[in-house]
Amino acid sequence: MTRLSASPARIMRLWANQPLAWKGLVVVALPLAVLIGALGSLYISSRVEAQAESDVRRAFAIQRDTYRVHALLAEAAAGVRGYLLTREERFLEPYRKAEADLPATMARLDADIRDAEVRARFERVQARTAQKREGLATLVALADSPGNAAERDARIAAALAANKVVLDSMRAEIDNIQRREAVLLDQRRARVESVQRNFLILTVISALVGLLGSLAAVYLFSTGIVRRVRLLEGNAERLARGEELGPFPEDADEIGRLARRLSLASQLLRARERDLRESEERFRLVVEGVQDYGIFALDPDGVVASWNLGAQRIKGWQAQEILGHHFSRFYPPETRDYLPARMLDMARQGGTAEDEGWRLRKDGSRFWANVVITALYDEGGQLRGFAKVTRDITERRRTEEALRQAREEAIAANLAKSEFLSRTSHELRTPLSAILGFGQLLELDEEEFDSRHRAAIGQITKAGRHLLSLINDLLDISSIEAGGSELELERVDMGEMLAEMHALALPIVAEAGLDFRLEPDPGPLAATADRRRLTQVILNLVSNAAKYNRDGTFVRLGCHVQDDQAVVEVEDDGPGIAAADVPRLFTPFDRLGQQSRMRVDGSGLGLALSRRLVEAMGGQIAYAPGRKGALFRFTLPLAARSAGEAADRRPRRRTQKAATAKGNNPAETDAK
C-alpha cells in the first residue's frame, strides 16, 4: 500500500522537476496530438466516403450511358428503315445524331467501367455497336445505289435481317451490364452507409478523447505551474514589503530556480540596504568634510536645510546660525529681490541652474562665486528640495580681468601701430615722389653724364621704386588691418584674366631665364573678385616664383574648378620651401632667411598681403609642395551663371572688415 501511494508522488515530483519548455510542450502537444489524430481519422473517413459516393455516381453514369447507346442505335435503325421506305432525308436525322454522339458516349463508358465482368460485356457491346453502325451505313449506301431494283431490295432485306440480329444481341449484353451494375450499385450504397456510420462513431470518439486530453492538460498545468506561480507571486509581494519570504517547493524547473533566485535577491537587497545606509553615512561625512566647496541643501521654498564645513569656511556662518534661514541672505542687495527666486525657477524647469556673480559673507564682504543649484525629486516626481554648490572663484575672476585688460591693451597697441604705419607711409610718399621725379628727370638727360653718374642715377630710381613699392604694401597692410580697404567685387572671366596676367608677367619671368607656361583656357569659367586686387595677388605669386627659382626651368599659371570654387595655381620647379618654414610663410616681414641666402630684394609683405586680399574676396590661399618646387593655390567664389542672378554680376563694394567678419580659416593651417 505504501508503494502504491509513493508511486504517484514520485511521478508528480518527476513532473515538477521537468523544464517549463518540456511541460508546455506536453500541455500543448497532448490535446494537439489528439486533435491531429482526430482530424486525420476524419480526413481518412471523408476520403473513403467520397470514394464510395464517387463509385455510386459512376454506377449511375454507366447505366445512363448504356441505355443511351442502345437508344441511339435503335433510333438510328428506325430512321434508316424510314428512309428506305420513303427516301426522305429527315428520316436520317437520328442516324446522323447517333454517328455524332456514339463515340463520346462509348469513350465515357470506357473510362467509367472498373468491374472486370462489366468490362468484358462492354467490349462485346463495343463490337456489336461497330457492326450495327457498319450495317446501317451499308443500308444507306444500298438505298442510294443504282441498278436492278429487285436485286437491290433483296440485298436491303438481307442487311435489315442481319442488323436486327446484331441489335438484339447488343440489347442482351446491355441488359446484362445493367443487371451487374445494379448489383454493384447496391453494394456501393451499403458501403457508403457503413462509412457514414463509422464516421459518426469516430467523430464522437475523437471529441471525447480531445475533451479528456484537454482536461488532463489543464490539470497538469494547474498542479504543476499555476499553484507555484501563485506562491511565487505571494513571495514577490512580501519582498516588496520587505518581509520574510514564505516556503516554496524545491523544484528543479525554471519556476523553482526563479524562487531560489528570488530568495537570493531578498538577501542581496537586505545587504544592499545595509550598505546604502552605511554609504549615506559616509557621504554625509564626506560632504561635511569638504572645505573648498560650499555644499548644502535647501527645502522647496529655498530655506537652508543642511550645512557643511566648506560653506562655513566660504560664507562665514556656523550651521546653527544659518539653518532655517532663506538662502537669499547670501545675495547682495541689488540682486536679492529677484535672483534667488529666478534661480529656483530655472532649477525647477530645467533640473539645474548655474550662475556666477557677487555673494555676501557673514561679515558683509563680497566674493565672486560660481553657484550650481540642482532640483531634487523623489520617485513619484515630487520636488523634495534643492542641492546648492558654491565655489569661491574671486582669484580666477581677477586673473580673467587682468587678461581681458591686457588683450584690450594689445588690440589698442596694434591699432596704434597700424595707424602709425599708415601715417608714416603717407608722410614718406611726399619726399619719395620728389626723389623719383628728379631721378626720372636725370634719366632723361643721362646721356650727358658719364657712366659712373648714369649708374648712380639708375641706383637712385631703382631704390626709389623699391621704396615706393614697400610703402604701397605697408599702406595696403595697414588699410586692411584697420578695416578700411574696399573691394569692387565683379564677375571676372578667369580665361581672359589668366591670358592678361601671362602677357603682363612674361617679361618678369623671361628676365629670370624661365619658361612661363600658361595652362590651356579653362573654358567658360568666371569668378567673383576685385579685378585690380586679383591682378595684384597673381603678380605677387608669379614674381615670387620667378625671383626665387634660380635652378629651375619654368613657372606655371593655371586655373580649374573644384568644389564649386575657382582654384588658381602658380607652380615652379625651384628649390621649394622647407617644411619647418611653411607655418611662417604668410607672416609679414618674415622672408624665411632668403634675403641672406639668395641675395634677393624684397619686403616680406607680398604673401601676407596676398592672403589678406584673397580672404577679403571670399577665398583662401595655401601652399603645398609641388611636383618638384613650390605650389601656391588660392580659391575664389564662382560667379552666378543664371539670368535670375544677374544682380550678382554687377560690381559690389566690400570692405575688409566685412570680409574678415565671416571667419575664414587661416592659410597657415591649410599650408600645414
Judge whether residue 551 has pLDDT over 70. yes
Helix (H) or strand (E) holding 178: helix 149-221
Judge whether residue 419 has pLDDT over 80. no
CA–CA gap between residue 354 and residue 375 (Å, rounded): 12
Kindly report the CATH number that applies to the domain delimited by 12-201.
Answer: 1.20.120.1730
Question: What percent of the chain has a predicted confidence (pLDDT) above 70?
Answer: 66
Range with the largest mean pLDDT of 59-68, 240-249, 456-465, 475-484? 59-68
Q: Would you state the pLDDT for residue 566?
A: 92
CA–CA gap between residue 308 and residue 513 (Å, rounded): 83
CA–CA gap between residue 387 and residue 207 (Å, rounded): 71
Q: What one-character DSSP code corresponds to residue 225?
A: I
Residues 6 or more apart from 611 whose CB is under 8 A from it? 586, 621, 667
Helix (H) or strand (E) holding 98: helix 93-112
Q: How confident is the model at residue 570 (pLDDT cuts 50, 70, 90)?
A: very high
Judged on CB neighbours under 10 Å (0-12, 13-18, 19+), 189 is middle
CA–CA gap between residue 343 and residue 491 (Å, rounded): 55
557 bridge partner residues: 518, 570
Q: How confident is the model at residue 209 (pLDDT cuts 50, 70, 90)?
A: confident
Task: State the CB neighbour count (10 A cutoff) for residue 193.
Answer: 12
Q: Would you state the pLDDT for residue 82?
A: 80
Judge whether residue 190 has pLDDT over 50. yes
402-482: in CATH 1.10.287: yes
Task: For residue 101, give the amino acid letter.
Answer: D
Judge whether residue 634 has pLDDT over 90. yes
From residue 508, alpha-carbon distances to 258, 495, 555, 603, 628 in Å are 92, 21, 11, 18, 21
Q: What tens digit of pLDDT does each residue of 248-299 get?
A: 566 656 666 677 777 777 777 777 777 766 665 565 555 555 566 778 889 9
Q: What tens digit of pLDDT does each residue of 375-415 get?
A: 998 888 888 899 888 888 888 888 888 888 888 877 776 66
Range with the largest mean pLDDT of 49-63, 376-390, 432-446? 376-390
| CATH class of the 485-671 domain in this structure | alpha beta
Task: For residue 445, give the amino acid letter.
Answer: D
From residue 248, alpha-carbon distances to 62, 259, 391 in Å are 76, 7, 56
Q: How confident is the model at residue 159 (pLDDT cuts 50, 70, 90)?
A: confident
Measured on CA atoms in the order 338, 343, 346, 347, is the torsion positive or negative?
negative
Task: State the CB neighbour count (10 A cutoff) for residue 563.
Answer: 7
Q: Would you state the pLDDT for residue 420?
A: 62
Q: Would you state the pLDDT for residue 404?
A: 84
Judge whether residue 596 has pLDDT over 60. no
Q: What is the CA radius of gyration of the chain?
A: 59
Judge whether residue 366 has pLDDT over 50. yes
Q: Would you state the pLDDT for residue 310?
A: 81
Output the nine-digit C-alpha cell for 578.
622647407
Question: What percent of the chain has a predicted confidence (pLDDT) above 90?
Answer: 9
pLDDT, mean over the chain: 75
Residues 6 or more apart from 367 whose CB is under 8 A from it? 314, 358, 359, 361, 392, 394
Judge whether residue 636 has pLDDT over 90. yes
| CATH class of the 291-392 domain in this structure | alpha beta
Q: Would you state the pLDDT for residue 613?
A: 87
Q: What tens digit of pLDDT does each residue of 113-142 get?
A: 877 877 887 787 778 788 777 877 777 777
CA angle 141, 146, 151 (to 5 degrees): 85
> Domain limits of the chain?
12-201, 291-392, 402-482, 485-671
Judge whether residue 162 has pLDDT over 50. yes
